[in-house]
């Protein structure tokens, strides 16, 4: 597996985010599209983009994980975990020592992944306040050794 940085408007990022949004729409979530200020990573297997995730600056020292998605036939292989680690490393290198995220209360696999990766529940924040389908998590990243 390779993990590569991609621009928000990269066609493979767009295809993965579209697939993610279709899956979420089946659960009643609102549709969103790639944002230009999100730093995307794509996981490739055999040259095929099979997963994506991004991070976005949220506030001073805080980044937010966004748009995590693994194509269904590639789930359960550790791809999402590898993406989370790579996204955390990028965010930390950019000066963000805390990472937050929002996911749906019905996405039990995602919740289990984030908990096992060291994320702890926090109150819903920002645009997610008042959304009964949202659950939020946070993780403090270890400081970089200089």
Strands 39-45 and 98-104: unpaired
Q: Does domain 2-99 have CATH number 3.40.630.30?
A: yes
111 to each of 44, 55, 56, 79, how far by Cα in Å? 23, 17, 20, 15
pTM for the whole structure: 0.87
Per-residue pLDDT tens listing for the chain (146 residues): 999 999 888 888 888 888 887 887 766 555 555 567 899 999 999 999 999 999 999 999 999 999 899 999 999 999 999 999 999 999 999 999 999 999 999 999 999 999 999 999 999 999 999 999 999 999 999 875 54
């Amino acid at each position: 597996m390779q993990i590569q940085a991609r621009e928000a408007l990269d066609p493979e990022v767009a295809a993965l985010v579209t697939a993610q949004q279709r899956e979420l729409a089946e659960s009643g979530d609102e549709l969103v599209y790639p944002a230009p200020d999100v730093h995307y990573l794509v996981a490739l297997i055999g040259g095929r983009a099979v997963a994506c995730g991004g991070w976005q600056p949220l506030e001073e020292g805080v980044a937010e994980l966004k748009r995590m998605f693994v194509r269904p036939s590639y789930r359960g292989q550790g791809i999402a975990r590898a993406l989370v680690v790579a996204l955390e490393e990028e965010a930390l290198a950019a000066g963000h020592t805390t990472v937050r995220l929002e996911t749906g209360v019905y996405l039990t696999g995602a919740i289990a992944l984030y908990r096992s990766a060291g994320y702890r529940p926090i109150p819903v924040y920002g645009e997610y306040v008042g959304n009964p389908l949202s659950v939020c998590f946070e993780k403090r990243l270890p400081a970089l050794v200089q």
